[in-house]
């Protein structure tokens, strides 16, 4: 059984897709041990509560220094003994020590086809604003392992989504969520839970 921690900061629609996937068995062999948020008002916490999933709130704002936050965040995560950490719209920089201890055991969903429209400054609606201002015809989403860079870890799954001429950033964001994020995030977790994902020389092999 793959035990996972899901880290959230906002609405939690990706968390909901994971919860639904476990409940309808499109995600097998997996249980959500804990939901972690830096934002006590995140609706994602309400989603966890509705499904009886344990949640904790931990924010850098509540610590005298970033180092103290990083240390306590890692200590609290380790206390749950999870196999995989899932970043689902988590807006806190992952501590270097956590990346070291959880090599190829932290995954993230990014709302573009990496390496386009990613890296520092590209998050939330800013990604889709970049897509529309560049005029690309296809965008999508990427699930990748987290390494010490920003959106630079080995790519696990990607799914393309058409950009429409009338799109606004909000309309495009929703389409990318519905047609890509909520499909590939659960799929990636199911593949990992069933031992189908390996990483060799920074490249992901599935099967
Ligand atoms: C998603 O668009 C995801 O791609 C990005 O943050 C957003 C999270 O949305 N990383 P939600 O909280 O899962 O609804």
What's the pLDDT tens digit per position in 8-59? Answer: 999 999 999 999 999 999 999 999 999 999 999 999 999 999 999 999 999 9
DSSP strand E in the chain: where?
2-8, 30-37, 55-57, 84-87, 106-110, 138-145, 155-162, 197-200, 203-206
- State the maximum Cα–Cα separation within the chain, in Å, rounded to a whole number: 48
The rounded distance, in Å, linking the Cα atoms of 113 and 116 is: 6
Going by CA atoms, what residue is nearest to atom 4 of ligand 1?
Answer: 111
Give me the pLDDT at residue 110, please. 98
- What count of residues does the chain have? 207
Tell me the per-residue pLDDT of 1-15, one tens digit each, with 9 for 90 and over.
999 999 999 999 999
Per-residue tokens: 67: 């180092």
Average pLDDT in the 125-153 region? Answer: 97
Mean pLDDT of the chain: 98
- Hey, which of 13, 41, 55 would you mutate to test ligand 1's pocket, going by the most ligand atoms within 8 Å of its Cβ? 13
Q: How far is the CA of 199 from the centre of ligand 1 (A)?
A: 25
Its pTM stands at 0.97
Give me the pLDDT at residue 140, please. 98
């Amino acid at each position: 059984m793959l035990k996972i921690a899901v880290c959230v900061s906002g609405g939690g629609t990706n968390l909901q897709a994971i919860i639904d996937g476990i409940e309808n068995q499109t995600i097998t062999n997996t249980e959500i041990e804990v939901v972690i948020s830096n934002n006590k008002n995140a609706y994602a916490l309400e989603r966890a509560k509705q499904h009886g999933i344990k949640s904790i709130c931990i924010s850098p704002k509540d610590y005298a220094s970033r180092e103290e936050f990083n240390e306590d965040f890692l200590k609290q995560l380790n206390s749950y003994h999870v196999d995989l950490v899932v970043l689902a719209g988590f807006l806190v920089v992952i501590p270097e020590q956590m990346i070291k201890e959880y090599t190829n055991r932290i995954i993230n969903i990014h709302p573009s086809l990496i390496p386009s429209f990613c890296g520092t400054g590209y998050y939330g609606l800013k990604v889709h604003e970049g897509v529309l201002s560049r005029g690309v015809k296809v965008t999508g989403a990427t699930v990748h392992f987290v390494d010490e860079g920003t959106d630079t870890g080995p790519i696990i799954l990607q799914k393309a989504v058409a950009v429409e001429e009338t799109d606004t950033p909000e309309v495009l964001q929703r389409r990318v969520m519905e047609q890509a994020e909520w499909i590939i995030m659960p799929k990636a977790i199911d593949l990992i839970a069933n031992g189908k994902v390996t990483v060799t020389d920074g490249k992901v092999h599935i099967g």
